[in-house]
Structure 1
């Protein structure tokens, strides 16, 4: 494999879609340590997530479009070794952050491998994989980011505020995860994977996303209350909601519109909206809840 091919399968730009969880934890930190913030950001988005992407690409061997890659190039064993090298590097650097963060990296790494490894392949189990991926990429990552960048005791994560924020991160993933699979039904069927989106069907996937995302919005109102942050959130998410509604209309007319390009546009608009919201929250130094 060429260096360019390996780089493509790391899907570094795709980490942007998981960045809101990190930024949410950052905005809810009164005085985070700068070096810890930089270290955790680098380990998550340049080592852990790319390692997971590479590992999944190696075992899936997709011939059709996947998240972040419309035409994935062929893979070989070299990508497998790169994935493990990135995981080892993440653990080595994570040791400087602290043992709770290392435990998090180990658990996340195991879950990501179980997702696609043929011996377990969580991806075959629609509800289980949907819940596990959403919990670990959402609430679990929020908690461990908050712990790592602030160096607080793990027991300090079990407050109502932290638990609610973690639940909101999980809800967002529960809403968005099936929609990222909606164009892969044929590819998943070819491999025998019954994903959540295949189980729900194309229209069911859109309905599920709309319902759960609405619950998430209600949850954020409960978290922020009738304050500036909540209305800023609505403002930054308006483009994603408008795009989603228009996309729903198009898909109801022709289900072939549930394709790779529309999915990536939806994911990009929603991801950037959340990222910009949390960055504005951070730069304006609005009060931590």
Structure 2
């Protein structure tokens, strides 16, 4: 359990790519408790997500690059138990906030296990895995974050001011998720995992993502114009421009040479997207909550 390979497979730095969902939930929260903020962040990014990564790695037994790990070492049984320990720690941390938040953490953990466990292995089903991954890493996580940060219960599932941002989070993940699989076609096919990207093909994955991402951006623009301020819509569009530029340049490279649909380019797209979204949501949080004005008042 304490082998270096097991800790590498947790891929803790990889959790950064899901940071925008947490920040979006933070930016729309009306009743943030400082202690809750720290606990929610740690439970998600240092325990829940790594537990999911490690558990999936144990059953996938990848020999080639995976998200956040270019050269994955062989897995051992210790990784399986380490992932479960991390899951338990996440839930215990959640209980320090509330039992509804802890239940949400538990449910997320179960679904992430279903993604790779051989008895269910959602990864074998292209549309089911795409839908479930986007739903839980997006909408479910935003609602879970909102509950934990504010100390609310399950009634938040009935609040439009939470559900709309939650669905937008899933929308952008549904658009980008197939791109995270584009360099794993050979490995997935060998295991019998018929992922959506494998089904679409390399160029088809690019086309699908381009359309889905456009729809997601349009959804965010509509949300900011209708429920926030118009300026946020323009800033959001501007913040996404580096992502669109990199995506377009990469597509042209892949169009000429399909081997460019590789791990390196995929990780760069993930990084640029995560940074741009995180910066935007930090700005949105600071500006919409008027934190700077409050600090200056002191």
Shorter-chain TM band? over 0.9
Residue 222 of structure 1 deviates from its aligned partner by: 1.2
Gaps of 5+ in 1: none
3-state secondary structure, aligned to 2:152? coil
Find the counterpart in structure 1 of residue 279 from structure 2: 276
Contact 1:147/1:157, CA 8 A, preserved across alignment: no
Find the counterpart in structure 1 of residue 114 from structure 2: 114
Query: C-alpha separation between the residues in 2 aligned to 1:199 and 1:258?
Result: 15
Task: Give the stretch that moved more between structures: 57-66 or 247-256.
Answer: 247-256
Query: C-alpha separation between the residues in 1 aligned to 2:101 and 2:147?
Result: 8
Paired residues for 1:116-195 under 5 Å: 116-195=116-195
Normalised by the size of structure 1, how large is the TM-score?
0.96
3-state secondary structure, aligned to 1:64? coil
Find the counterpart in structure 2 of residue 40 from structure 1: 40
Residue 245 in 1 paired to residue 243 in 2? no
Residue 151 of structure 1 deviates from its aligned partner by: 1.4
Residue 58 of structure 1 deviates from its aligned partner by: 0.7
Gaps of 5+ in 2: 292-298
Normalised by the size of structure 2, how large is the TM-score?
0.93
Find the counterpart in structure 2 of residue 93 from structure 1: 93
Find the counterpart in structure 1 of residue 230 from structure 2: 227
Structure 1 segments, 4+ long, off by >6 Å, are none
Deviations 1:21-44 (A, max 9, x none): 000000001231111111010000
Contact 2:124/2:192, CA 8 A, preserved across alignment: yes
Query: C-alpha separation between the residues in 2 aligned to 1:268 and 1:118?
Result: 30
Residue 286 of structure 1 deviates from its aligned partner by: 4.9
Query: C-alpha separation between the residues in 1 aligned to 2:188 and 2:93?
Result: 35
